[in-house]
Amino acid sequence: MPEDLAVSHRHIIAILRGITPDEAVPVCTALVEAGITLIEVPLNSPNAVDSIGRAAAALSDRAEIGAGTVLTPEDVRAVAGAGGTFIVSPDTNVEVIGETLRLGLKSYPGVFSPTDAFAAIRAGATGLKFFPAEVLGSKGIKAMKAVLPPALPVYAVGGASPDNFHEFFAVGCTGFGLGTYIFKPGMSVAEVAERAKLAVAAYDKGNSK
């Protein structure tokens, strides 16, 4: 999501819902080594702020670590205090967007309609998360993209996978959020790394067209 990383990165966001603090650094390291440098820890994961802090401390020079499922301004402050650099929310909450920007973090709220999208844009969102993308579909996203600012980054989340990256690229998506495809509790670090490599390969193929 973030545009100004010092390292080269792909617009693939690994969503690590359910990760624990002890898993955070090895899993995030495997993702970075596979080529994914945008990593989101949803706040409904166990001790999520601790995981964010550990990952940010270990990898801040190689990746951006952010939080997902952020529902309140208090959550934003906790993430910022842990070293997180971007905020992803499931809805268009202007208070969350405002606090995110006030603290110098990037804001990626979830949107499902033009009303959501323009409320987020007016509040200053850095980019938009089309969620759930599997319900909107590429046709729904294409219809909304026609009225959105062309340069605004948009991400397909919830139903995006390496199998359909090409469909979302074709309608103007900037990138993707990958949840259970790339991480589920109980997965080994090796399995996460293998799935990350497949996602990177599909992204690079689709983005080159």
Query: Does residue 129 carry a catalytic annotation?
Result: yes
Output b/e per residue, 168-202; b: 16+ Cβ within 10 A. Answer: bbebbbbbbbbbebbbeeebeeeebbebbbebbeb
According to DSSP, the β-strands at 106-111 and 86-89 are parallel
Q: Quick one: tokens of 99?
A: 């606090």
Catalytic residue (choose from 23, 64, 106, 129): 129
Catalytic residue (choose from 40, 64, 99, 167): 40
Query: Does residue 134 carry a catalytic annotation?
Result: no
Residues 6+ positions from 80 with CB-CB distance below 8 Å: 103, 104, 105
Residues 6+ positions from 67 with CB-CB distance below 8 Å: 40, 41, 42, 43, 48, 49, 52, 75, 79, 84, 86, 87, 88
Which residues are catalytic, by number?
Answer: 40, 129
